[in-house]
Amino acid sequence: MDELILGSHVGMSGKDMFLGSVKEAEGYGANALMVYTGAPQNTRRKPIDELNIDAGLEYAKQVGIREVVVHAPYIINLANSVKPETFELGVDFLARELERSAALGSKALVLHPGSHVGAGAEAGIGKLVEGLDEVLAQDESGVFVTLETMAGKGGEVGRDFEEIATIYERVQKPERLRVCFDTCHVNDAGYDLVDDYEGTLARFDELVGLDQIAVIHVNDSMNPRGAHKDRHANIGEGSIGFEPLRRIVHDERFAAIPKILETPWRCEEGSTKKTLPPYKEEIALLRG
Ligand code: FE
Ligand code: FE
Ligand code: ZN
């Protein structure tokens, strides 16, 4: 049997940069990791040659870290049809983020499809497709733009599998797209992973194709199914519970792709500061 490809979101900062990310993942017993190439909430980025990538990749090889996933910052919004400067910033940033992802050895750049900011899903999807086409027409990185399934809070695009399918249908190069299946978001979008795991995956397969899933975000949810909230809970402590999450992590159909935890850090006893990463324990728990 193949070894489970399982890791978590890790940081990238300080002098070590990417080497530090790999060491953090090693400390969790992971063999995969996900990084933001800078702060997730802004687009300030260091040049590629300051990320300490060679040392990080060399170390990753030594300690058996097999997959690196990059997550684009949240503020990239290609679905914004209202503010041209937001859209343009998104297009330019995404083009360069694909290059950074390739340099980091990542096959998949996870991207939130964005928000239609009140203009409606149709307008949002139209603008997103325009942006993806613009970026992919020029891009030679070979990295997949990996659209994340969203919880459907506010004006989020990608709130159900139909919307993801529509994006695939409309872009000029659907072969350059993949999907990041986030269990918390899928639950919050209204799909039943608890009592209808197979039905949910069959629905996705029908509309998009299970073979399009390139990354799984393994998160429990603080909110009930269909809440459209997007608050991650620790594994086994939310409305999804341990069993469906264990099941998707061990699902043979996803054996070849990285499974990434984005669960919240914990507080030390008597403190309200989140200083304790849960990943070592959760990785061990899920490996079972
Ligand atoms: Fe995400
Ligand atoms: Fe996610
Ligand atoms: Zn989320």
pLDDT in tens, 68-105: 999 999 989 999 999 999 999 999 999 999 999 999 99
Q: With 90 as the cut, is the pLDDT of residue 108 above it? A: yes
Ligand nearest to the CA of 36: 1
- Residues 6+ positions from 37 with CB-CB distance below 8 Å: 12, 45, 51, 70, 97, 100, 101, 104
pLDDT reported for residue 207: 98
Ligand nearest to the CA of 221: 3
Determine the distance separating the centroid of ligand 1 and the alpha carbon of 119, expressed in angstroms. Answer: 22
Ligand nearest to the CA of 189: 3
Determine the distance separating the centroid of ligand 1 and the alpha carbon of 90, expressed in angstroms. Answer: 16
Determine the distance separating the centroid of ligand 3 and the alpha carbon of 120, expressed in angstroms. Answer: 21
Ligand nearest to the CA of 74: 1
pLDDT reported for residue 249: 98
Q: With 90 as the cut, is the pLDDT of residue 66 above it? A: yes
| 3-state class (DSSP) for residue 174 | helix
Residue matched to tokens 């069993």 = 243
Ligand nearest to the CA of 262: 2
Q: How far is CA 194 from CA 6, 97, 145, 262, in A?
A: 21, 35, 29, 19
Residue closest to 113 by CA, chosen among 104, 101, 126? 126
Determine the distance separating the centroid of ligand 3 and the alpha carbon of 287, expressed in angstroms. Answer: 22
pLDDT tens-digit series, residues 228-271: 999 999 999 999 999 999 999 999 999 999 999 999 999 999 99
Determine the distance separating the centroid of ligand 3 and the alpha carbon of 172, expressed in angstroms. Answer: 28
Average pLDDT, the chain: 97
pLDDT tens-digit series, residues 16-56: 999 999 999 999 999 999 999 999 889 999 999 999 999 99
Q: Which two tokens stand for residue 137?
A: 């027409």
Residue closest to 130 by CA, chosen among 114, 141, 118? 114
CB atoms within 10 A of CB 206: 11
Which of the four pLDDT bands, split at 50, 70 and 90, describes residue 204?
A: very high
pTM for this predicted structure:
0.98
Instruction: Decide if 281 contacts 265 (C-beta within 8 A).
Output: no
